[in-house]
Structure 1
Amino acid sequence: MMRILMMSALALVLAGCAGNVVTDYSSTAVFGNYSSWAYAPEAGSSSFLSLDGTRVQAAIERELNRKAMKSVAEADADLFVNWKIIEEDRLDQSGVGLGFGVGTGHFGWALTAPPPVREVKEGKLVIELVDTSTKQVVWRAASRRYLTESQSPETRSELIDEVVTEMFSKYPPGLD
């Protein structure tokens, strides 16, 4: 019994250590050469900036300012910042199932129904930094945490801030 408790505790600790973002980068990029940035023309992929888009851009600007990177016009930028919220559908099975059974002695019958399933729309944030001279992505971060339709504006804002902060804690690569 004690062994099971220890294994469970270890699994919880390891799960808590797992990052909420995944990053990838070009091993040939010289990140010290990048000092200025601008949003890519297609950043956000919409003709209008959504409420979440405004939150994402504010968080990106805050984090790049912390990295002492200067926001400039597109023509003068070392990096383009491209971001998007990718919508994904997920099936959520939550609630309580239903079961009924009858039996006597060593014989019985049972009927069960699983909990109801519903489709949930989620949004995963992806941020890419693109070298303006080569037009190649040199750094990319994707969130493992999702925005959902049911979150309040305050929760959405907090989640975006946390995720973007964690993303840029891994930029430039090799410093963590």
Structure 2
Amino acid sequence: MVRFLMVALVAAAVAGCAGNVVTDYNSTVVFGDYTTWAFATGAGNSTFVSLDGDRVQRAVERELARKAMSKVEESEADLLVSWQIVEQERLERSGIGLGMGFGTGNFGWGLSTPPPVREVIEGKLVVELVEASSEKVVWRAASRRYLTENQSPKSRSKLVDEVVAEMFSKYPPELD
């Protein structure tokens, strides 16, 4: 039993160390050459800026300001910031399954029902930095944490702030 608990604790610690953000980048780009940025036309893929979109834009502005990058008009920017919240459907089990059985010795019969399942819509944040002159993506970050429809506005804001901060902690990438 003690051995099982130790294995479970080690597994939980290792899982806690896993990053919540995945990044990719063009290794031939000199990121130090970029000093200005703007949101790309159509960032967020909507006619209107949604509540979550506003949270994302504020967080991106804050993080790029921390990187000493200046926000300018789109026509003057070195980098264009494009972002979107990608919706994904997931099945979630809720409750418990029921079962019963009987038997004697080494033989028995059982019957059970699975727990109820419901569909949940989640949103994964993806941020891309596009070189304005070539219109090519040079850096991309995607969240492994999701916005869900049942989160409060406060928890949504906190999650967006944490995810965007973690994304930009990996910008500019350290090249090997």
Query: The TM-score by the shorter chain falls in which range?
Result: over 0.9
Give the aligned partner of residue 73 of structure 1.
Answer: 73
Query: How many angstroms apart in 1 are the aligned matches of 2:108 and 2:88?
Result: 43
Gap runs ≥5 in structure 2: none
Q: Distance in 2 between matches of 1:105 and 1:9?
A: 36
Query: Structure 1 residue 147 and structure 2 residue 147: aligned?
Result: yes
Q: Does 1:40 align with 2:40?
A: yes
Q: State how far apart, in whole Å, the 1-side matches of 2:109 and 2:79 are.
A: 66
- The residue matched to 1:145 in structure 2 has which SS? strand
Q: Quote the Cα distance in structure 2 between the aligned partners of 1:101 and 1:85.
A: 46
AA partner of residue 96 (structure 1):
I
- Where does structure 1 lack aligned partners over 5 or more consecutive residues? none
In 1, distance between residues paired with 2:165 and 2:155? 15
The CA deviation string for residues 27-77 of structure 1, in whole angstroms up to 9 with x for no partner, is 011100000000111200000110000000000000011111000001100
**CA apart distance, 1:2:** 4.3
Amino acid at match of 1:8: A
> Match of 2:128, as an amino acid?
E
Runs of 4+ in structure 1 deviating by more than 4 angstroms, as ranges, are 104-107
Percent identity over paired residues: 67
Q: Does 1:126 align with 2:126?
A: yes
TM-score, structure 1 length as denominator? 0.94
- Mapping 1:45-64, distance limit 5 Å: 45-64=45-64
Q: Distance in 2 between matches of 1:16 and 1:104?
A: 44
Q: Write the distance in 2 (CA, Å) between the matches of 1:21 and 1:12.
A: 18
Using the size of structure 2 for normalisation, the TM-score is 0.94
CA shift digits 1:2-29 (9 cap, x unpaired)? 4433322221111010010000110011
The 1-side partners of 2:122 and 2:9 are apart by 30
Mapped partners of 1:120, 1:161: distance in 2: 22
- Tell me how far apart the structure 1 counterparts of residues 27 and 106 of structure 2 sit (CA, whole Å): 66
| SS class of match (1:172) | coil
Partner amino acid, structure 2, of 1:139 = W
Question: What is the aligned length?
Answer: 175
Deviations 1:149-168 (A, max 9, x none): 00001010000000000000
**Structure 1 residues 31 and 9 mapped into 2: Cα distance closer, same or farther (>3 Å)?**
same
Aligned-partner residue type, residue 10 of structure 1: V
Q: Give the equivalent residue in structure 1 for 2:103.
A: 103
CA distance in 2, matches of 1:137, 1:104: 66
Query: What CA distance in whole angstroms lies between the structure 1 residues aligned with 2:16 and 2:2?
Result: 21
Q: Please give the alpha-carbon distance, in whole angstroms, between the structure 1 residues aligned to 2:125 and 2:134.
A: 24
* 1:90-143 residue CA offsets vs partner (Å, 9 max, x unmatched): 011131101122335554332100101111000000000000111110100000
RMSD between aligned alpha carbons?
Answer: 1.4
